[in-house]
Structures are given as structure tokens and as C-alpha cells.
Structure 1
């Protein structure tokens, strides 16, 4: 978001609008909408919503960067000593990666605000579009999707660039643009104001989305977002309620079993993955660059093959855990072998995304399990412990038993969540939300709640230069 004019939705739509045929998600974009026409009917609104979802594919946010930063800036993964220089700064124990000039933070900021600008453009037509009786959709359903996507982007901005709700500096949320304005130079809203907007958008979307296509945001995805929101604002009763709502929905997705879980991330099974709630669609006609896709740095068969799980993380998995040696492997597929890497201990390959065309999962049912477990930890830890043992022993690691209490229970819940949802965008913000510091056993990087780098990412330098009304987080 160097300036708002660079991310205004009509400009982005000229790139991302797609065909309004029924299989529009399976084809490369073919149709654009002239800027002077805008959204004039339900069909062009449907095209705009497809474009909005397409913008979420950006590898600068949901397509790669959010999952990457949430692992590399935490304790269970690292960049190898043999690297392409991408993300190499995350290894530095002096925390020199956390600077306002960091391109990764600028890319994340700009990508999320681009998505918001697209959503704002769509929502500027809310109430103006007639229902087309010849379509299976409705304007209400389509606008609800735009509200949900905007809520998700604002949530991810405030999660990364501001302090935890209720802790520390609550004045420095993030800018809160709600309309298309090329001249806007907004100050930071408060953290409460941003979360209030997230809630308002989720409430505007709740129960109104007609599609059940996992390649589009849907009602169950909105319920997942509600559970994330309520965890963030520490309303654990409501977080539990919405997580249970997702878990009770057996018509849309089910939890994968010990038999089906190991192959959930294969290209052959991505369309039939029973747990998927919302995924980014990638196919042979719509692919990220092989240099930028999530597999480029995260898989031993990728272009740069440099980001790995730590051996300390892997060694905590029981030999009965179906995720061990399927999603996490001691042997890779490229050359040189993992044994030849200069790291000590040797790296552990992450084999969730092994082909450039593999869809990136944004939400799946097991997340609801862990959202509920975290909520219960704060309200009913006995129930949290029982449900943790049931989930892991039934679906992932037969024979698993955990008996810890207190903070050890919380740490185990979040550890099992990272085993399950590794590289799906959670670890850094889970630790941050629960004020849990760490030392990465591979790199020695240490973060804790006393350090400003733990509390919030810096506003990018480009934004500081172009927007005189924005304040930097203290320390940067």
C-alpha cells in the first residue's frame, strides 16, 4: 500500500476479472470489465467476486507469504544455511529482519490492502444490483462473500501489524479504508475499531452465502472466521460456540481419518480432501511462478529448497503419528540430499505442497478443533484435555495420551495445532496471541512478549513515506 491509488480495485480488476461461465474457476481469466462500466448486473457482480477471490491467490499474502512468515518467525522451522537469500534474515539472532525496510512486510501489507480495495469496490455497489432470476446466485450472497473476504484481510492485517487485542498499545491498529478513495491517506485506527469492523463484516456475511464451492468463501468459512475473531478478542465462549458450529456441520466437511490424512495434500486428492472448507484454486491454466509458489522454498523438490521443519519438532512426534514421514520427512527428493545440507541437526522436509499446481488450503475442519481447544483451555481445561486426547488419538496418533495441566496443556494444544496445520498460517500468531515466547532450537532466535518485534510487524517504509498521517509502531 505505497499509496492507495496503487491498489484501487478497478485497476486490479482489469487484471483479475474472469469468464462468467459456470466453470470460471477452472479457466484462466478471459474477460475484463471496462472501468467506466463497473458492476451493472448480477453477472458482472459474479465476475467481480471471482476476481476478488483470484486476488487472494497472491504469493505476497495467502498464496505463500502468510504461511511462510508464520512458520519462519516462530520456533519449529528455519531457513537452511544453504539458501537463496530469501527469508535468510529470519535466522538472525539480532532480530535485524524486523525493520521497516523489509520487503516481505511491505509485500504482505500491500497485498492485503489490495484485496481490501477490491472488496471495497465491489461493496460500493451493494444495494444497487437487481436479482437475476435466471441465475442460481443472488446479489445478497455475492456481497456477503465480499464482506467475508474483507473481514479476513483486515483480521490478518491487525493480527500481524498490531498488538494483541486488550494488550499493550491499543491505539495503533491499522488503517481502515471502507470505500474507494484514490486520495486517502488514513491514520491507524485503534485495535478495537479494526476488530469491530471485522465483526461487522462477518455479521453482514453470516448465513447469507449460497455457494458450497470450496474454492470460494462460504458460510462454513465465515463460521471459522468468527471463531478466529472471538479467540482474538478473548471471548472464549463465543469462540467455542462457532468452532462447535463448524464441527457439527457434517454435510460440508469431515475430519480426515488416520487412513486418509496422509494423502490430504496430494494433487490427486486436493479436490476430494474431506477436511477442506476453503482453498485457493491453482491449476495448469492459473499458476504462480515456480520461483514464487509456496513449494519454491518449502519443498526439497522446489526451486530453492531451503525452508524446513526443525529436527526438534520432528522428534516430538510419536512413531505412530500418521503425519510423521508423510507431511514431515527425513529424506528429500532433490539433489543434494538433505544429509548433505550444512545444518546441524539436519533439516526435515515439509511435504504438504509438492507440486506447483497444488491448491493452497486456507481453512479446514481440524482448525475448528484447535480453536475450540484453545477456547476451552481458558474456560474448561478439563474438557480441553479430554478433547485433545480424543482428537489426536482417534485421527492422527493412535495411543496418544497427554496428561499435562496449566500452561503445559496450552503449549501442547498449540504444538499439536502446528503439527496439524503447519505451513497453513498459524504458528507465529498463535504464540503471539497467547503471549508465549520461544527460542528457535535450530537458529537460536529468541522472541518474547517484552520485545517489540514480537508484538507487531513494522509499517513498511514505503507507507511511512507516502502517508504523513500514519504512525510507526514504537521501536521501529
Structure 2
């Protein structure tokens, strides 16, 4: 995988200047820490772990691109006709966006492998670092964080670049480097091998993380990754178990109907629901061209990505998310009413400033992971829990009586209403084999189309790695 850019090839890791404490709440200037001799003690192991978390902030992966693609490549959002050309190809009904030369796919691929390379570098020192009794951490806890981050990156790679577990072509997973080797040209491992590695990393990390800072990966975040993993491999009983474990935990709590409208404000930044988020602040934030607010918020520089009016209209007028997270009014000029789209766009007002933290995990996800798992094992319970949750926390008086496929689609719709722009819609539809036609653009995707099954391996990877195979159709 010669084209993959390993950001630690020179052993330089950029971190926030927080010494070795876990306090990311202090907003201090960033510094470069040069590890000329690698990791030699627990203190610079802790620095390396901060650097690993810093890599997650990249706007070409978790900082913006993953949540963006998971909405724009699905049914409930679109790029306006008035756009900067960013993501404009997602509007094309001929699916010409899905090509090996697509820069967004190349960026996602490269950045996720950058994260894995960082994790592999850190983990090459596992078992070699002694515990420093003068610190609040331990090597076991710090290495557990590296295992969990690597598992998360592999999960997102296999989710986007391969077919779902158990369906279709299971030979074409993704390359599986577990050591740092910039000259490696690995073939695609099988889908099962990738999921087995994810399980191995999560099992190694489970229950071992001492950190409780929500701006770093923690034990509840590992439980959430287990929940996602078990949904992906269709082990619904275990997905239910881990979802319930999160719901029973006091590490986070569900926001009430009163609290929900402001939970994405600059002061709340996810509030008490947060399990794991990326810190952005005035000293460490993406540029105005690159952050998630650049294209998604009407006050952003390019103000072009929106929710569909069909999605907005499906929200009940009593839904506390309507007209707070999703609104027909805008703050920029021209007003949304002046956009050339028909129907007019719906503004997504979750992230309003570049300095707002990006939510990677929050407690509401566990609710919907459990509901999906129960749909496949106990649909009666799934329906009852859906009605109880939505009516209690988001839509007073909510009652849904559908069964079968209609129940599954309602669960996933409510999940999208809750977790819009948090990285789920495309993968939820794909995992469950639910095709769609986007009401605004007319783009149609379903399980008969190879574009719905997997993203293409980027052209640069194909040219530099003779051992890798392209997904059929590209």
C-alpha cells in the first residue's frame, strides 16, 4: 500500500499541549513532539496516544467526511443546485460519483489507514513499557486505547469499502496491516478476517481503559464499538447485550425533550449524552473551507448541503428536533427561500461554528442499536421500546403501529432524525439492504447496484499495489 501516507513515518506526532494529563478541556496552543527514539517510557506513550487521537480530527475522516458521505450518499440529504462543486457529483443519477478517481474515496481510504499506521506504531511497543507510578494512567490502559482506535478505523474501512458481513463477495475485505511497514503491498483480506481483527482489538481493550475523558476513547466507547460490531456481523443477541450495557451505565445519560434542542450549542457540545467526541476549539480547529460547518450550515462558507424537505415534512410538528436541529430559516445570504432547489432546502443546525466538538458517539445510538437488534429477534419488544423512547424523549404522543419491514424502516428513520450528520444513514441502509430513491435528486441505490455494495478502491492504490483487487463493477 505504497500510496498510503503514514503521518508518523518521521516519528513526529502533533498533540495538544496538555502534558501527560488527560485534561483536554484546557485550550492550549498545539506543539510538535518529536519522538526520535520512539516510545521509551509511559510519559511519551501517553503523548503518542494523544497524537493518535489528534489524527482522528482529520476532516477527511471523522472530522467531517464520514458524517458527510453517510448523509449525501443516502436518501434524506442533498447538495443544493447552488454549490461550490464540493460533493456535487453525489447529485448525479447516473452514479458517476462512484469512480476510482473520486478524491473523497481516496481521502477516506488514506486517512483511515493513516490512523491505523499510527495505532500500529504505538502497538509495536506493547509489552515493552513499564508502569510509571507517578502517573494516573498505565501502559495497559494506554495500549487499550490504541487497540480500540484501530478497531474503529478498520470498522469504518470494512463498512464502506466492502460488502456487508455474510452477503455477496466475502473475499474482498480490505488490506490488514498490523505492523508499520511503509513498503507493504498487501492484498485484500477477507471480510471475516477484518471483522475477526476488530473483535480481537475490542476484546483486548474491553474494560481496561482508565481514562474517563469524553474527548478520548474510553470504556463506554469500546462498548459502543462492540454494539456496532455485533450488528454488523448479525449477532443480534450480543448487540442487544452491549447496547443495554451502555444504557445501564451512568457514564452518560439521555437528553430530555426539554434539553434536546440545545444539546448541540457551543456551550453544550453534545451535553450529557456524549460518550466520545473530537475536540475542536479556538486554538485547534479546522479551516473555514474544510470543517463540517463549511458545507452543512447555512452560516458556513459554502452553505450547500441540506436535509430534504420530504425528510423534514415527515417529522411531527411536536418533534422537539424539528425547527431546532432542522429548520426552514437560515442565517446566511441569500436566504434558503432564494435557493434554486425545488422543494427548498432544510438547514441542518447541529454544528454552527468550526470550534464545536464533533460527536462520534452518544447514548442515543445505543437505543437505536438495541432497537435494530430487537427487530430481528423480538419485534414486539422492538415496537414497544420504540414507542416508549420516542414519545418520552423526542415526540410527545408518538405512536407507531407498523410491523415487518415498515417497523425496521421507522426505527432507522427515527435513528436518522436523531443522529443526522453523525455518520450513520448510508451504512444503516446498506447493512439492512434497504434501497432508496432520493426525493430531491432522484438518485436511486439498492442492493442490485455495485455502487451500493462497496466504495471503489482508489485509483492510486490500484496503480501502486499490484496485489489488490478492485470491487467488481468498477
State if a TM-score over 0.5 links the two structures. Answer: yes
Deviation sequence 1:367-388 (CA, Å, 0-9, x none): 0000000000000000000000
Answering whether residue 454 of structure 2 is matched by residue 453 of structure 1, we say no
Equivalent position of 1:104 in the other structure: 104
Correspondence list, 1:79-228, <5 A: 79-228=79-228
2:323 is paired with a residue whose SS is coil
Tell whether the 8 Å contact from 2:20 to 2:46 is kept in structure 1 after alignment.
Answer: no
> Whole-Å Cα distance in 1 between the matches of residues 105 and 121 of structure 2?
24
Specify whether residues 12 and 328 from structure 1 end up closer, same or farther in structure 2 by C-alpha distance, changes over 3 A only.
farther
Q: How far 1:166 sits from its partner (Å)?
A: 0.2
Which runs of 5 or more structure 2 residues have no equivalent in the other structure?
Answer: none
Q: Deviations over 1:158-213 (max 9, x none)?
A: 00000000000000000000001121000000000000000000000000000110
Instruction: Decide whether aligned partners of structure 1 residues 2 and 343 sit closer, same or farther in structure 2, where only a CA change above 3 A counts.
Output: farther
1:320 equivalent among 318, 321, 325: 318
Deviation at 1:14, TM superposition (A): 3.8
Residue equivalent to 1:255: 254
Partner of 2:69: 69
CA–CA separation in structure 1 for the residues paired with 2:337 and 2:108: 33
- Please list, as runs of the form range in 1=range in 2, the aligned pairs for 1:259-408 lying within 5 A after superposition: 259-270=258-269, 273-408=271-406
Per-residue Cα deviation, 1:134-171 (whole angstroms, up to 9, x for no partner): 00000000000000000000000000000000000000
Cα offset, 1:12, TM superposition? 6.6
Please, what TM-score do these two structures have when normalized by structure 1?
Answer: 0.98
**Paired residue for 1:30?**
31
For structure 1, which runs of at least 5 residues remain unmatched after alignment? none
> Counterpart of 2:387 in 1: which secondary structure?
helix
Partner secondary structure for residue 343 of structure 2: coil
Q: Give the deviation of 1:18 after TM superposition.
A: 4.7
TM-score by length of structure 2 reads: 0.98
1:340-359 C-alpha deviation (Å, 9 max, x unpaired): 00000000000000011000
Q: Distance in 1 between matches of 2:183 and 2:221?
A: 33
CA–CA separation in structure 2 for the residues paired with 1:237 and 1:442: 37
Call closer, same or farther: CA 1:19–1:276 in 2, change over 3 Å: closer
Q: CA offset at residue 33 of structure 1?
A: 2.2
Please give the alpha-carbon distance, in whole angstroms, between the structure 2 residues aligned to 1:360 and 1:104: 19
Partners of 1:96 and 1:397 in 2: CA distance: 39
Is contact 1:13-1:48 (8 Å) kept? Answer: no
Indicate the residue corresponding to 1:45 in structure 2.
45
SS class of match (2:388): helix
1:359/1:8 Cα in 2 relative to 1: closer, same or farther (>3 Å)? closer
Root-mean-square deviation over aligned CA pairs? 1.2
C-alpha contact 2:30 2:283 (8 A) present in aligned 1: no
Match of residue 7 from structure 1: 6
Q: Deviations over 1:442-465 (max 9, x none)?
A: 000000000000000000001001
SS at match of 1:30: strand
Q: How many residues were matched structurally?
A: 472
Could you say what secondary structure the match of 1:243 adopts? Answer: helix
Q: How many Å separate the matches in 2 of 1:60 and 1:233?
A: 26
